[in-house]
Every structure is written in structure tokens, then in C-alpha cells.
Chain A
Amino acid sequence: DAKTTQPPSMDCAEGRAANLPCNHSTISGNEYVYWYRQIHSQGPQYIIHGLKNNETNEMASLIITEDRKSSTLILPHATLRDTAVYYCIVKSGAGNMLTFGGGTRLMVKP
């Protein structure tokens, strides 16, 4: 699976959009981009995933560049409860196990 690079930490003002970047320059054609988050010490929470088209669900939007070498997770209106570590993971289809990196620690501030 391709390696991902994320900033270690980010701040965001409550009510504003949080844009979390992820670089995955070695991604191959059949690899998907997944986003999870871990709030404090809870179990990781699935957010969204995609292959090449932009995706949106009730939690977030995923924007994947045309060359697929990077992506951005967008939380449109961040709340204090969105404070968490966000993980960007690139994975191919062989099994659904995930390789977690360091992630981005997002702090939403009032």
C-alpha cells in the first residue's frame, strides 16, 4: 500500500471549514483513499473513502486531485466534537486491513 504524508497538527476555528491535506504521491491505480478519525482513546471512526471521484457524505467531503497524488478531507462546519486525530490511509483491494500512520491532530477551538 502507498505511503501517506500528513501534517502532524492543525487548528481550526469552531464553525469554520477544516481542510485536512494528505499526500500520497506513490498511489497506484487500484488503491483507494480512506479517512478515519480517532477521538481521544475511542475506537477509530470511519469517515469516507474514494478512488478518483470526489465524494461527499453526511460527515465530510473528500476531494482527490486529478493525478490522485493528494487529497483533502473537508469538514464543512467544524465543531468542538471534531477534535481528533485524522488518518489518511491508502489501501488496495487485497483485504480490508488498514495501515495507520501518525495522522493529523486537529484541534477545533472556540
Chain B
Amino acid sequence: NAGVMQNPRHLVRRRGQEARLRCSPMKGHSHVYWYRQLPEEGLKFMVYLQKENIIDESGMPKERFSAEFPKEGPSILRIQQVVRGDSAAYFCASSRLEANTEAFFGQGTRLTVV
């Protein structure tokens, strides 16, 4: 059973470009969570999604960031018009539907904005 798959592992974008980060959850998992870790800082929750629904986006910046988890295919975190401050590691986690189950993380996408 493959774990949570994130790609690309490393992404370099110039300021003003768009970044698209993909996350395929573990088999049987219907919930996806995105977290951001700025250099030398802790992990911060961004958004929680189920298939075709955003459940909690309280940690998402109000502008330029969006997330989706379509009926088919991976979850996508999109950052438009990237700025240097967006450089960070972005981690995705997935879990089953039931409450109080463990969430498993992918290895992350390291975004560098130049």
C-alpha cells in the first residue's frame, strides 16, 4: 500500500509564476490536509479537504492560494503569483473518514521562489 505521494519533490519558480503542488492520498483515504513549514519554523495547518469539498481553510492565506480535491485525481494546492515568502516545504497528509484515526504525511514539496 503506497503512502501519501507528493510531487514534485522540489519546485523552483520565479516571482510572479504559478506553483502547482500535487498530493495523492493513501488508498482508502478520503480526507486530505495541507501544511506549510517555513524555513526553521514549525508546521502550520493550511486547509482540510474531502472529495470535492473544502471542509476547513482557516489556515490558508486569503489571496493567491487555493486548494482542490476533485472527484478523480490528486489534490492540488495552487499558489498564484508566487513571492519569495512562499518559499517553504509544503506537506500533505491523508486520513480515513473516521474520526480519531491517524493521518499519514507525504515527503513534501520544497518550493523555492527565485
Contact = CB atoms under 8 A, between A and B. Distances in A.
Contact of B33 (A46, A96, A101): A96
Contacts of A34: 102
B48 A46 contact: no
Contact of A103 (B42, B45, B91, B106): B42
Interface string A82-106: 0000000001011111111111000
Contacts of A46: 102-105
A43 B48 contact: no
A67 B56 CA distance: 31
- Main secondary structure on chain A at its contact with chain B? loop
A32 B43 CA distance: 19
Contacts of B91: 43-44
A99 B31 contact: no
A44 B105 contact: yes
A6 to B, nearest CB: 12
A99 B106 CA distance: 17
A95 B43 contact: no
In this complex, the interface size class of chain A, counting residues with CB under 8 Å from chain B, is 20 to 34
Interface stretch (B63-71, B79-87, B93-101): B93-101
B103 A96 contact: yes
Interface string B102-114: 1111111010000
Interface centre among A43, A93, A95, A101 (most CB of B within 10 A): A43
Interface string B16-35: 00000000000000010101
B107 to A, nearest CB: 5
B107 A101 contact: no
Contacts of B43: 38, 44, 98, 100
| Among all A-B residue pairs, the 4 with the closest Cβ atoms | A93-B99, A43-B105, A100-B43, A96-B95
Interface of A: 32, 34, 38, 41-46, 49, 51, 91, 93-103
8 contacts: A38-B43, A42-B108, A46-B103, A49-B102, A93-B100, A96-B101, A97-B103, A98-B103
